[in-house]
Amino acid sequence: MSKASQPTALFILPAPELSARVHEYLLQWYAAAGRDLPWRGTSDPYAVLVSEIMLQQTQVERVIPKYRQFLETFPTLQDLADAPTAAVISAWVPLGYNRRAVNLQAIARQIVQEYAGRVPATIEELIKLKGIGRYTAGAVACFAYRQQVATVDTNIRRVLHRVFFGLEYPRPMLNDAQMLTFAEHALPPGEAYNWNQALMDLGATICTSAAPRCEHCPIQAACRAYAEMGQHSLFPTGAVLRQVRKVAEKKANYQALPFTSSNRYFRGRIIDLLRSQPPDSRISLAVLGTHIKQEFGDDDLPWLQQLVEGLAKDGLLDYAPEGVRLP
């Protein structure tokens, strides 16, 4: 056993009987109710990689049509590596966070140069790719190569914590490293693919962050958080309702600052405008400013220059003294 996978003394592994019950309940539920997602119908490592990058910070429903369209435009990793970056960014719209498109192409080019165009199969090699973290490396290794490895995203973390450790409020019992170690030990033998997918589905559809639907949960009888909530109320909802209130307050505070005044909004407007221009043509900052912001004035130029420099640093545009254009 590697050092990274050794159990830590900061938590106690669940009894084998409990783990077996959870495995049985959840895997049976997934076999009957798992979501029909297009990337689950392929073992192509490139397609799996595309889906994982797209799913970062974007809802599944928005990703599905763009995933299919993107793979039609760039059917192979070599196609993506060879494409102009501006074309990749255009194919990514309207998913947002366009830097992901640039990063994905950079990964494709690195794989072509360093791995002869074949996506690495091990976590150790995958994590060497620029911008690939432990979650994405584990997801590709598991979902494309069917390796018996754990991977922990937000949904998986929440479900595992609630089932085996209880409510994550006011703060989780395990940090990221500890949760990954625990997730490795929680894997059912030979079922890593179905287990990881089942955990994500449960977290996305039933064991949600703000309003879990405990009455529909297939592992309710084995869930420690459900038992904890039952101690606070005749119906096990008291602790969750308090958390829902906190989440609502946070959202209200966030929404007090309209998105249309945020830098992210204006970054998106800049890219959209440049996509509408003839290839290789440049727009000066002064002209650019008047197109993306009403009542743009000279006092706004330092702010606009900072935005443009940030986009250039992220590889999303080319910035020169005479103006900006897509790369």
Question: Which of 17, 24, 52, 295 is the catalytic position?
Answer: 52
Question: How would you classify residue 293: left for phi > 0, otherwise alpha for psi between -120 and 50, otherwise beta?
Answer: beta
- Three-state SS letters, 158-217: HHHHHHHCCCCCCCCCCCHHHHHHHHHHHCCCCCHHHHHHHHHHHHHHCCCCCCCCHHHC
Peptide bond connecting 38 to the previous residue in cis, omega within 30 degrees of 0 = no
CA 212 to CA 197: how far, in whole Å?
18
Specify whether 52 is catalytic: yes
CA 136 to CA 113: how far, in whole Å?
20
Which pair of tokens denotes residue 30? Answer: 């997934």
Amino acid of residue 258: P
* Other C-beta atoms lying within 10 Å of the C-beta of residue 210: 14
Question: How would you classify residue 173: left for phi > 0, otherwise alpha for psi between -120 and 50, otherwise beta?
Answer: alpha
The three-state secondary structure class of 271 is helix
The CA-based angle 55-60-63, given to 5 degrees, is: 65
In order of 176, 241, 246, 313, the CA distances from 236 in angstroms are 27, 10, 18, 49
CA 293 to CA 299: how far, in whole Å?
12
Catalytic machinery residues: 52
